[in-house]
Amino acid sequence: MARTREFDVDQAIDRAMDLFWRRGYAETSLQDLLKELSIGSGSFYAAFGSKEELYIRSLDRYISLQGSDLEENLDSATEIRAAVRKVLTSLIEADLADPTRGCLVVNTSTQCGEQPSATDRVNAAVRQVESSLAGALERAQARGEISTDKDPRQLARFLTTFIQGIRIVGQARAGREFAEDALSVAMRALD
């Protein structure tokens, strides 16, 4: 008779995500994961298969959470500039509060470039951000908030690139003044 699972898989993924986010993929050992999740290796392999598979599930969870937050901020916006500023400012504040964490997507792109499944997830996350921003910018353009001579898709790609860059700058501890100056210039792209 098979034993029933004695832990919550979703909670375990969240805890693993936090550990990978703090330490990185390479620096997180199987023993670290077993300790963090308070499970044995048999339970680990039965639930997750491997460290890489758990990492991918953790990354998927992170992307889902971040994507939902972005969609919520953009969909509930009545004015695009305020919404974009709020999104960018929240990222800057998160990095100022804890610069070692940064963004798990950015961390993955720099740490796991040799893993096709990780690269696929990073590309999908970047496209998801681009798509969310493009949709919001198209709606703003239809409301007359953005000039018709602007291309919402190009603006979305610029802002997506800016988001990834500002996350790296945050990890580099460039500071508030640096980030706020960059944010001011990025916001002018919407004018």
Q: Which conformational region is residue 120 in: left (phi greater than 0), alpha (psi within -120 to 50 degrees), or beta?
A: alpha
Domains with residue ranges and CATH for the chain: 59-188 (1.10.357.10)
Please write the tens of the pLDDT for every residue from 28-40.
999 999 999 999 9
Distance of CA 135 to the CA centre of its chain: 18
Distance of CA 61 to the CA centre of its chain: 10
Whole-angstrom CA distances from 151 to 85, 88, 101, 102, 144 are 19, 20, 33, 29, 13
Say whether pLDDT at 159 is over 50.
yes
Across the chain, what does the average pLDDT equal?
93
What's the rounded mean pLDDT across residues 72-76?
92
| Per-residue model confidence (pLDDT) at position 3 | 52
pTM of the model: 0.89
